[in-house]
């Protein structure tokens, strides 16, 4: 878990707890049936603008962590290439 993820979870603790009751684990809280967030919104238990902010932050966090792992993978393959070219040089 990154610091950013922990920060979002702490800021929106009640929403994170509610989201655990959604029928789907990857619920986007939009049109999914059995969504606990939408149910709480309908009942006026939570604030719609706050949910929107939380969803935006969570989406950004997902985007950031995915690009980070992609970058890591690119770095790995680059090192492999460098190593391979160095070995070729040594053989000569
Ligand atoms: Zn949901």
What is the distance in A from the centroid of ligand 1 to the CA of 70? 27
Q: How confident is the model at residue 72 (pLDDT cuts 50, 70, 90)?
A: confident
CA distance 87 to 85: 5
What is the distance in A from the centroid of ligand 1 to the CA of 75? 36
What is the distance in A from the centroid of ligand 1 to the CA of 89? 56
CA distance 76 to 17: 37
pLDDT for 49 beyond 80: yes
Q: What is the pTM of this model?
A: 0.63
pLDDT at 87: 77
What is the distance in A from the centroid of ligand 1 to the CA of 67? 24
**Which one of 3.40.50.720, 1.10.40.50, 3.30.1490.100, 2.40.160.210 gives the CATH number of domain 3-91?**
1.10.40.50
CA distance 20 to 13: 11
pLDDT at 92: 66
Domain definitions of the chain by residue range = 3-91
What is the distance in A from the centroid of ligand 1 to the CA of 68? 26
Average pLDDT, the chain: 85
**Nearest by Cα to 56 from 32, 31, 29:** 29
């Amino acid at each position: 878990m990154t610091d950013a993820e922990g920060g979002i979870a702490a800021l929106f603790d009640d929403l994170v707890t509610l989201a655990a009751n959604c029928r789907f684990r990857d619920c986007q809280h939009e049109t999914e049936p059995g969504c606990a967030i939408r149910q709480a919104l309908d009942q006026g238990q939570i604030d719609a603008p706050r949910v929107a902010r939380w969803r935006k932050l969570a989406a950004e966090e997902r985007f950031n962590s995915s690009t980070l792992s992609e970058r890591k993978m690119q770095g790995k393959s680059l090192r492999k290439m460098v190593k391979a070219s160095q070995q070729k040089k040594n053989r000569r």
